[in-house]
């Protein structure tokens, strides 16, 4: 099939490259000429594991290209996938990029009898595709739905694992407002043999939000329980969660032994969730519910717990060590999760700013995200030293904070950390494995 993907961010570029890898002819549209030029020579402008190799492969096969010309790309396309950003603005979803994109597509449709299925892949609140998108298309094209198709195909991609998640999807949601678009979506995803959910566009939109809201809720309830464990004393929240994980509804027992589903990684105490999806999606869903007269008590609580959780780190350190002014502190991990350069809503931003307010002497390390982190915190970056070798900084540091679950930080247990304080904000290392430092973490009372 001939596909146009509008937007070349994490979702758009990964989707376009993966669809091309499965045999479709894909054009990716972006307004930025420098990004288009990079993509056409095989250099992605975002970090995603496996993306450079796959991009080069689909370019070599002539199944993928990038352009700034939206109209030229869609005049030969059967489906236009909208994958532009939908950021949060004061807790509400900002649909301006979607609106602009749809108006441009509608302007093209006004000039041609070509039938195009416009399919939203961006995360949008329930009721967006069949109202705002449809109305904008009808207004700018002068046509009614039927003269064009309309669908919604949400993504379920984890940054750092996006290529695998797309190529080995666990489910594909085919949201549609007309049968022709459903037929096209069926053809688009024919190479995938996973479960496919055929629903209207509102349901497709809600599936995406419900998925993220439930995962975010799990993280916040575990963190609230971890804080309670620390307050009670004599209880380690990680031991508690190990016991919970063994419930056969979480970890089924089969003839081959007990399974350990990936969902259990959301049931580990830590310093909160971040990234481009969970915070903004939960906020947007809460705001929509409140606009409809619902109190949204649960989602309010999820966000409140998460907003406060990064503050636990400096609070615990100050209770243990006293004032942090001048204390040499090394922060390991700046992205919101391992294997990505994305720092959006990262807990590390709040942790570092808290340390600076406490006048600590701060150095930071991340294998991928240091430049993005500098941009995110602005002028505050001038007060931080960024290191290219975290192991070399161990001798300098009095305090080491593990802020992401990057596996290489497990090496701390074999380094000379005696007399230092290690705060494991992600419960990554096992202190019983020989860590000679004073070990602190979420979910345990201070000694």
Q: Which tokens in the block code for residue 188?
A: 């688009």
Cβ(86)–Cβ(93) under 8 Å?
A: yes
Burial of 146 (0-12, 13-18, 19+ CB in 10 A): exposed
Identify the CATH assignment for 2-197 out of 3.40.640.10, 3.30.70.1020, 3.40.50.720, 3.40.50.300: 3.40.50.720
Q: Is 101 considered catalytic here?
A: no
For residue 142, what pLDDT is reported?
96
- State how beta strands 253-254 and 257-258 pair: antiparallel
CA 418 from centroid of its chain's CA atoms: 36
Q: Maximum distance among all alpha carbons in the chain?
A: 74
Domain-wise residue ranges, the chain = 2-197, 214-441
Residue 82, CB-side half-sphere exposure with 13 Å CA sphere: 29
- Consult the annotation and say whether 270 binds a ligand: yes
Residue 96 has a pLDDT of 96
CB 351 within 8 A of CB 401: yes
Q: What is the mean pLDDT of each run of 10 residues along the chain (447 residues)?
A: 96 97 97 96 94 97 96 94 92 94 96 96 97 97 96 95 96 98 98 97 98 96 96 94 94 93 92 91 96 96 96 95 96 94 95 97 96 96 96 95 94 89 92 79 82
* Domain 214-441: assigned CATH number: 3.40.50.720
pTM: 0.93
The enclosing H or E element of 227 equals helix 201-232
Residue 30 assigned ligand-binding role: yes
Confirm or deny that 86 is annotated as ligand binding. yes
Catalytic annotation, pick one of 18, 277, 364, 435: 277
Nearest to 205 by CA among 134, 322, 121, 268: 121
Task: Assess contact for 140 and 106: CB atoms under 8 A.
Answer: yes
The answer on whether 268 is annotated among ligand-binding residues is yes
């Amino acid at each position: 099939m001939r596909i146009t993907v509008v937007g070349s961010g994490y979702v758009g570029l990964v989707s376009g490259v993966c669809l091309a890898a499965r045999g479709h002819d894909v054009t990716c549209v972006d307004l930025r000429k420098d990004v288009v030029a990079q993509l056409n020579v095989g250099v992605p402008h975002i970090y995603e594991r496996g993306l450079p190799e796959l991009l080069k492969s689909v370019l070599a096969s002539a199944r993928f290209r990038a352009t700034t010309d939206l109209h030229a790309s869609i005049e030969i396309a059967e489906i236009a996938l909208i994958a532009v950003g939908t950021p949060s603005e004061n807790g509400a979803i900002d649909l301006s990029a979607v609106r602009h994109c749809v108006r441009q597509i509608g302007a093209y449709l006004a000039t041609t009898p070509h039938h195009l299925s416009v399919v939203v892949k961006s995360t949008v609140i329930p009721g967006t595709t069949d109202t705002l998108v449809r109305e904008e298309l009808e207004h700018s094209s002068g046509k009614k739905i039927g003269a064009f198709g309309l669908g919604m195909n949400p993504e379920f991609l984890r940054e750092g694992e996006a290529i695998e998640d797309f190529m080995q999807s666990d489910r594909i949601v085919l949201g549609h407002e007309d049968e022709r678009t459903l037929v096209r979506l069926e053809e688009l995803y024919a190479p995938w043999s996973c479960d496919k959910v055929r629903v209207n566009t509102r349901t497709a939109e809600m599936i995406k939000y419900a998925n993220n809201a439930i995962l975010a809720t799990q993280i916040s309830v575990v963190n609230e329980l971890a804080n309670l464990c620390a307050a009670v004393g004599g209880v380690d929240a990680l031991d508690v969660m190990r016991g919970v994980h063994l419930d056969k509804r979480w970890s089924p027992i089969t003839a081959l032994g007990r399974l350990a589903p990936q969902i259990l990684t959301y049931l580990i105490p830590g310093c909160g969730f971040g990234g481009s999806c969970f915070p903004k999606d939960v906020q947007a869903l809460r705001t929509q519910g409140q606009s409809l007269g619902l109190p949204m008590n649960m989602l309010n609580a999820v966000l409140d717990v998460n907003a406060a959780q990064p503050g636990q780190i400096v609070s615990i350190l100050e209770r243990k060590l006293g004032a942090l002014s001048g204390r040499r502190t090394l922060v390991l991990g700046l992205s919101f999760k391992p294997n990505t350069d994305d720092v959006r809503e990262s807990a590390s931003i709040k942790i570092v700013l808290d340390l600076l307010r406490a006048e600590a002497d701060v150095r930071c390390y991340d294998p991928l995200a240091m430049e993005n982190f500098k941009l995110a915190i602005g002028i505050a970056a001038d007060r931080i030293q960024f290191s290219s070798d975290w192991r070399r900084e161990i001798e300098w540091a009095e305090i080491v904070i593990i802020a992401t679950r990057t596996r290489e930080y497990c090496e701390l247990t074999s380094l000379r950390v005696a007399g230092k304080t290690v705060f494991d904000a992600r419960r990554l290392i096992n202190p019983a494995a020989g860590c000679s430092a004073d070990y602190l973490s979420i979910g345990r009372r201070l000694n």
